[in-house]
Amino acid sequence: MEIRQLSYFLAAAHTQNFRQAADLSLVTQPALSRQIAALEKELGMQLFKRIKQHVELTPVGETFAAYARNALDVLQQGELELARWQEGQSGTILIGCNHSLAVAFLPPLLASFRSQYPDIQLIVNVQNSDTVIAMVERGEVEMGFIYDPSVRSQIVIIKELFRQPLQLLAALEHPLTRLEAQERTLERISREPLMMMNKEARLRRVVERLFLQHNLVLQTAIEIGSSAGLIELVKQGCGVTLIAPALLRQSSGNDQLCLLPVADVSETFSFALIYRRIGSLSVPARQFINMVVQATSKADK
């Protein structure tokens, strides 16, 4: 049994199509098919049901997929650990990031990495979270940063960096900031003019989910496709919003804002790094991942 066979197997399990799996794995379809057939022969069991133009995992294949994912995850962790011993002083890292994290969360990490590795080029592609996930799956970027991941993928590893609840963001003099903590509920906030990200944004989906759980109707006064624009609207006194603290950039202008917990919102939401479990990461990418994990673990303490 070879590592590449496990990679091809998971790619086929993810795409349910040998041709698409071959494209993801950068091999020809006949080569991928031969390796999967060899794996099935070695195991003595059929892993896929061949159905016209696609394939499906058999019950045995579903079971084996969990072990294959774990095996490749362990190998990826080993490669990340070895990166601590490698130089990696030059090269390029391709990064995907959703819009909100690109404004506040990612820039300090990029600056820190650049100070340590000035000859490594960093290229960031900013898209919505679903697009970032697809780019990682296709190998167009080496890693992605997303909020509230809902990834169901055989070929993507999700590394949770930290968790935070949503909080109320209001102008400093807004009446909601003067309420007692227990009075600042989601229902009370819903009576104010609400500014929200547009419906494609992961942050917007989180807010919609919260309102649904509390049997409240989300009515927006303003919708905007930029987290920076959303924060500026709050500064201008147009209304209030709900946001995770990590999405609020630290700047002198934010002394006009107040970030406060919501009494009946205890659920926390994940900020995550994702990367492929099939194929190898470049040495610079592994070093960047190690730096991010180390920096976020320190900040969380």
> Using one digit for the tens of pLDDT, what is the confidence trace for 200-232?
888 898 999 999 999 999 999 999 988 888 999
Domains delineated in the chain? 3-81 (1.10.10.10), 87-155+275-299 (3.40.190.10), 167-264 (3.40.190.10)
**What radius of gyration, in Å, describes the C-alpha atoms of the chain?**
22
Asked if pLDDT for residue 87 goes beyond 80, the answer is no
Q: Which of 43-52, 77-86, 182-191, 273-282 has the lowest mean pLDDT?
A: 77-86
> How would residue 83 be classed by pLDDT, with cut points 50, 70 and 90?
low
Place of tokens 């303003």: 222
Backbone angles phi, psi at 175, to 5 degrees: -55, -30
- Mean predicted confidence (pLDDT) in 116-141: 91
Asked if pLDDT for residue 85 goes beyond 60, the answer is no
* Residue 167 contacts residue 241 (beta carbons within 8 Å): no
The pLDDT score that the predictor gives to residue 260 is 94
Tell me how far apart the alpha carbons of residues 90 and 80 are, in angstroms, rounded to a whole number: 17
Tell me what percent of the residues of the chain surpass a pLDDT of 90: 44
Place of tokens 């990029």: 110
Give the DSSP per-residue string, 127-175: --HHHHHHHHHHTSSSEEEEES-----SSEEEEEEEEEE-EEEEETT-G
- Mean predicted confidence (pLDDT) in 252-277: 86
User: Bigger pLDDT: 136 or 78?
Assistant: 136
Asked if pLDDT for residue 194 goes beyond 80, the answer is yes
Place of tokens 């659920």: 267
Q: Which of 57-71, 243-257, 260-274 has the lowest mean pLDDT?
A: 243-257
- Across the chain, mean pLDDT equals 88
Q: Which of 32-41, 120-129, 291-300 has the lowest mean pLDDT?
A: 291-300
The pLDDT score that the predictor gives to residue 142 is 94
